[in-house]
């Protein structure tokens, strides 16, 4: 079996993984990046909260630029779904077909996955593209200012998101697919005080137009400008957990302030850790992780390069 040896393996090629690759390459640390190609950023039609990108930038465009930037340093980007991280004689090893890739450190930048509403994929894709379906009011609440917004989800998160969106629009409605919102009487009262409309009838259908989202309730169809989904997400932490890293009750990888997990040599950055799921945060954490990895690798031998 062929073995490729690097200093660092990065798993995940979204904003976090690509940022770490850039930093490590510029520290003269040999690195390989393995990515399954499912970045949440691929779903961003146009982001308006990227500093320096006046007019907005699409997620695919941002990722393309970031990939091109790391390729300038000769970093290998391998398209693969990493199933396991083995620990062999103090080194981490991942398998890519017939090739084993070994490294002294691994950065997990594997992200999270949003739970989706019950709608066909083609409806989901078209609605994300035209902004009638959204997931992140921190990212794009500004874009729905004064619009008719429906928030679909369950429990305290639904209440929290409705409260958040209420400062963008006076026309906020909450509902859930089952018709059961999972809220206490006190939480219903809070929604009433905020002027948020509550619909506790099950949703049976979604139909997206070019600038509206029709929600088919069991008893009627209602038209909104935008649907926000609050169904939770699943941190992609299983690789790290299987390698022994501690996770939070929500399934995120636990890290210290240098992005080290609880397993020596294993680091994590971006949405897979607990915190604000934002590109700026993923980039910031990745720069901290890359610097910690570099410094930890150099703690015994400050000369990274062969001289």
Ligand X SMILES: Cc1cc2nc3c(=O)[nH]c(=O)nc-3n(C[C@H](O)[C@H](O)[C@H](O)COP(=O)(O)OP(=O)(O)OC[C@H]3O[C@@H](n4cnc5c(N)ncnc54)[C@H](O)[C@@H]3O)c2cc1C
Binding site for ligand X (CB under 6 A): 11-17, 34-41, 43-44, 47, 49, 81-82, 109-111, 114, 128, 135-136, 139-140, 236, 239, 270-271, 277-280, 282
Q: With respect to ligand X, which residue has the nearer C-beta, 104 or 140?
A: 140
Beta carbon of residue 238, minimum distance to ligand X (angstroms, whole number):
8
Beta carbon of residue 77, minimum distance to ligand X (angstroms, whole number):
11
Q: With respect to ligand X, which residue has the nearer C-beta, 174 or 235?
A: 235
Q: With respect to ligand X, which residue has the nearer C-beta, 110 or 176?
A: 110
Distance (Å, whole) CA 50 – CA 67: 17
Q: With respect to ligand X, which residue has the nearer C-beta, 211 or 221?
A: 211
Angle of the 155-166 helix axis to the 185-194 helix axis, nearest 10: 10
**CA dihedral of 283, 297, 237, 284, whole degrees rounded to 10:** -10
Distance (Å, whole) CA 104 – CA 304: 13
Beta carbon of residue 142, minimum distance to ligand X (angstroms, whole number):
10
Beta carbon of residue 110, minimum distance to ligand X (angstroms, whole number):
4
Whether the CB-CB separation of 6 and 31 falls below 8 Å is answered with yes
Measuring CA to CA, which residue among 121, 116, 119 is closest to residue 206?
119
Helices H, strands E: what count in the chain? 8, 19
Structure tokens at 291: 């610097």
Q: With respect to ligand X, which residue has the nearer C-beta, 82 or 203?
A: 82
Distance (Å, whole) CA 83 – CA 205: 36
Distance spanning both ends of the chain, measured CA to CA: 29
Beta carbon of residue 301, minimum distance to ligand X (angstroms, whole number):
30
Q: With respect to ligand X, which residue has the nearer C-beta, 134 or 294?
A: 134
Q: With respect to ligand X, which residue has the nearer C-beta, 27 or 135?
A: 135
Beta carbon of residue 128, minimum distance to ligand X (angstroms, whole number):
6
Whether the CB-CB separation of 29 and 8 falls below 8 Å is answered with yes
Beta carbon of residue 280, minimum distance to ligand X (angstroms, whole number):
6
Structure tokens at 94: 């991942």
Whether the CB-CB separation of 33 and 13 falls below 8 Å is answered with yes
With vertex at residue 295, the alpha carbon angle to CA 291 and CA 297, rounded to the nearest 5 degrees, is: 115
């Amino acid at each position: 079996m062929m073995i490729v040896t690097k200093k660092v393996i990065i798993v995940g090629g979204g904003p976090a993984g690509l940022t770490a690759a850039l930093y490590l390459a510029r520290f003269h640390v040999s690195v390989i990046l393995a990515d399954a190609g499912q970045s949440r950023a691929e779903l961003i039609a146009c982001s308006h909260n990227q500093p320096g990108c006046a007019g907005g930038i699409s997620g695919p465009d941002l990722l393309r630029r970031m990939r091109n930037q790391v390729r300038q340093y000769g970093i290998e980007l391998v398209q693969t779904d990493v199933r396991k991280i083995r620990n062999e004689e103090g080194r981490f090893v991942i398998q890519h077909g017939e090739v084993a890739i070994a490294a002294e450190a691994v950065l997990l930048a594997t992200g999270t996955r949003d739970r989706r509403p019950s709608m066909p994929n083609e409806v989901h894709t078209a609605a994300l593209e035209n902004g009638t379906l959204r997931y992140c009011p921190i990212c794009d609440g500004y874009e729905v200012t004064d619009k008719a917004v429906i928030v679909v989800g369950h429990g305290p998160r639904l209440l929290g998101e409705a409260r958040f969106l209420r400062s963008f629009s006076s026309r906020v409605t909450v509902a859930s697919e089952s018709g059961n919102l999972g809220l206490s009487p006190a939480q219903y009262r809070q929604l009433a005080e905020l002027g948020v409309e509550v619909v506790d009838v099950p949703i049976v259908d979604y139909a997206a137009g070019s600038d509206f989202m029709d929600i088919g309730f069991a008893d009627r169809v209602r038209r909104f400008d935008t649907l926000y989904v609050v169904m939770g997400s699943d941190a992609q932490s299983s690789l790290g957990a299987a390698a022994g890293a501690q996770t939070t009750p929500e399934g995120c990888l636990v890290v210290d302030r240098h992005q080290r997990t609880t397993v020596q040599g294993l680091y994590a950055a971006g949405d897979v850790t607990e915190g604000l799921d934002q590109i700026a945060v993923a980039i910031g954490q990745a720069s901290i992780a890359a610097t910690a990895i570099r410094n930890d690798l150099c703690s015994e031998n400050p000369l990274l390069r062969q001289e």
